[in-house]
């Protein structure tokens, strides 16, 4: 949305100053802050509400409803005419849908993925997010270059967001519900069919039955420990660590500075000396491409090989250095001629691109992966909902703070983010455990809520139970066949 806010056609339609660039004008800074932060406010409440709906109605149906809510919000924004109140209302409604989907999508994906590729596949959540943002950057650049400033110019990029929302809604119709949620509801036959579908195996295969036994053992352990989800359960040993880590990893992600650049990239590029709107939008588009490529490469070669923990530590160190250099150049070589892109401005643009490479190979995809895999099945919806709500809460804070910070304290904003990046790397080093290659059920062992020997015995018991039930079914079928055969013989005699 930051790229739309930079278009003169949008400023003219909604009565904003058109001559100033970046955040030089306090009114433009305030409106930019309102438009962006209201979406994140909606996302915060959407994430909280989705955690409860997710657990009650399932992952798939809740996602479908949230898609519809998002489409309504996007339509209201697109139809807005000369009144910012419509933009504001549409942003809040769309935010409810986006926030809710952000709380459920990682859960839905993680619960369907094999452990060996879970990081890579769940990380695609972030990859498609940055692809969408990059497409938006380039659409804005295209309309700024090729469409005469008019209402149509800004409505095209705003309305285009409805296309992927509609595609997602249609795609959900053809998916199956999470097998882990189905097991939790006691719907074992449906869970078996769903898991077999996702693994491309027969329902009776050893792989499907083994994984299903592990899922059932984990859930029955949880049920045996407590009856029903209560707030006290959050503070049990093991769970307490998971919720604290989930909160902090999303908190730190927001204070890395990435969303300040992501939301307000055109204005930030203007602040560091790229003053022309179309030039700043072009630089923003390149920023998006760098983000997409870096995230994709990391998901292919890094997340399930290097792991989560060391990637986060290295990424934090890299980002802090880039932010410190950016702040230092901006204070020693501030842009003076808005019509010329100076060597210092080019250097600052390079620092931003290098910064986002580090972010995309660490703090971009990993927090969502980590959040979706550390919680037990009974608490996963609530844990990921909490983490997602935390992300959107501080996202809201960042979007409110950034325009005013750059307007008031300038280069010190980047130094502040550099300090946060340094601190979060230290926290990861001392407090976060590696989760690479573990099944979701093995997280209970990692966080100490159950020991390995007990879990192994529970799985063996569930496998024997499943085999016994299968033998009983076979015996019943055989008995039925014998009875039918005897009946036919009797009929023939008659």
Per-10-residue mean pLDDT, the chain, length 494? 72 69 58 77 90 87 94 90 84 92 88 83 85 84 83 86 92 89 87 88 85 81 62 77 92 86 63 60 79 90 86 94 88 70 79 90 90 84 88 84 75 88 94 86 78 70 63 56 60 57
Give the largest CA-CA distance in the chain: 108
CA distance to 138, 313, 418, per residue, from 321 (Å):
28, 13, 7
The contacts of residue 259 (CB under 8 Å, 6+ apart) are 395, 398, 399
Measured CA to CA, the distance from residue 47 to residue 98 in angstroms comes to 8
Structure-token pair, residue 336: 């003076």
Length of the chain: 494
Say what the pTM is. Answer: 0.74
Under DSSP, is residue 445 helix (H, G, I), strand (E, B) or coil?
A: helix
368: closest CA among 385, 349, 393?
385
- What pLDDT, on the 0 to 100 scale, is given for residue 477? 55
Helices (H), 188-238: 188-199, 206-225
Q: Are 395 and 64 in contact (CB under 8 A)?
A: no
The contacts of residue 5 (CB under 8 Å, 6+ apart) are 11, 28, 31, 32, 35, 36, 266, 267
Q: Are 365 and 126 in contact (CB under 8 A)?
A: yes
Measured CA to CA, the distance from residue 9 to residue 151 in angstroms comes to 6
CA distance to 185, 304, 450, 460, 462, per residue, from 456 (Å):
23, 25, 10, 6, 10
- What pLDDT, on the 0 to 100 scale, is given for residue 167? 93
- What pLDDT, on the 0 to 100 scale, is given for residue 118? 82
Structure-token pair, residue 63: 């996602």
Q: Are 298 and 36 in contact (CB under 8 A)?
A: no
- What pLDDT, on the 0 to 100 scale, is given for residue 480? 63
DSSP structure string for 25-49: SHHHHHHHHHHHHHHHHHHHHHHHH
- What pLDDT, on the 0 to 100 scale, is given for residue 448? 74
Measured CA to CA, the distance from residue 104 to residue 107 in angstroms comes to 5
Q: Measured between alpha carbons, how far apart are the two ends of the chain, in Å?
A: 83
Element of type H or E holding 90? helix 84-110
């Amino acid at each position: 949305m930051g790229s739309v806010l930079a278009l003169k056609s949008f400023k003219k339609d909604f009565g904003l100053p058109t001559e100033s660039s970046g955040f030089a004008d306090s009114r433009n800074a305030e409106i930019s802050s309102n438009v962006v932060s209201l979406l994140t406010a909606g996302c915060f409440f959407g994430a909280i509400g989705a955690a409860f709906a997710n657990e009650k109605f399932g992952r798939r149906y809740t996602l479908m409803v949230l898609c519809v809510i998002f489409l309504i919000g996007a339509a209201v924004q697109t139809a807005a005419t000369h009144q910012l109140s419509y933009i504001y209302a549409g942003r809040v409604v769309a935010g409810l849908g986006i926030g809710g989907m952000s709380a459920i999508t990682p859960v839905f994906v993680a619960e369907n993925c094999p452990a060996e590729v879970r990081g890579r596949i769940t990380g695609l959540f972030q990859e498609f997010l940055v692809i969408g943002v990059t497409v938006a950057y380039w659409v804005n650049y295209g309309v700024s270059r090729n469409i005469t400033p008019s209402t149509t110019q800004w409505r095209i990029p705003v309305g285009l967001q409805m296309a992927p929302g509609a595609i997602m809604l249609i795609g959900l119709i053809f998916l199956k519900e999470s097998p882990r949620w189905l097991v939790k509801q006691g719907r074992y036959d449906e869970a078996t069919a769903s898991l077999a579908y996702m693994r491309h195996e027969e329902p009776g295969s050893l792989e499907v039955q083994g994984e299903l036994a592990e899922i059932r053992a984990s859930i029955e352990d949880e049920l045996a420990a407590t009856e029903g989800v209560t707030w006290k359960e959050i503070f049990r040993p093991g769970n307490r660590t998971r919720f604290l880590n989930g909160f902090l990893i999303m908190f730190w992600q927001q204070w890395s500075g990435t969303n300040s650049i992501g939301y307000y990239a055109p204005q930030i590029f203007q602040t560091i000396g790229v003053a022309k709107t179309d030039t700043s939008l072009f630089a923003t588009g390149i920023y998006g491409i760098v983000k997409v490529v870096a995230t994709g490469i990391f998901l292919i070669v890094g997340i399930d090989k290097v792991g989560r923990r060391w990637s986060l530590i290295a990424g934090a160190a890299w980002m802090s250095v880039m932010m410190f250099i950016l702040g230092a150049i901006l204070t020693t070589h501030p842009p003076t001629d808005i019509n010329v892109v100076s060597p210092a401005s080019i250097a600052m643009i390079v620092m931003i691109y290098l910064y986002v490479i580090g972010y995309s190979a660490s703090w971009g995809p990993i927090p969502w992966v980590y959040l979706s895999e550390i919680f037990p099945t009974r608490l996963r919806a609530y844990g990921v909902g909490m983490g997602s709500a935390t992300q959107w809460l501080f996202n809201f804070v960042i979007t409110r703070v950034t325009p005013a910070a750059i307007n008031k304290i300038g280069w010190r904003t980047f130094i502040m983010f550099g300090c946060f990046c340094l601190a979060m790397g230290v926290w990861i080093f001392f407090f976060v455990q590696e989760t690479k290659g573990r099944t979701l059920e093995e997280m209970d062992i990692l966080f100490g809520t159950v020991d390995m020997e007990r879990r192994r015995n529970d799985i063996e018991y569930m496998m024997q139970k499943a085999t016994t039930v299968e033998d009983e079914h076979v015996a019943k079928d055989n008995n039925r066949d014998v009875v039918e055969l005897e009946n036919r013989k009797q009929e023939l005699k008659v």
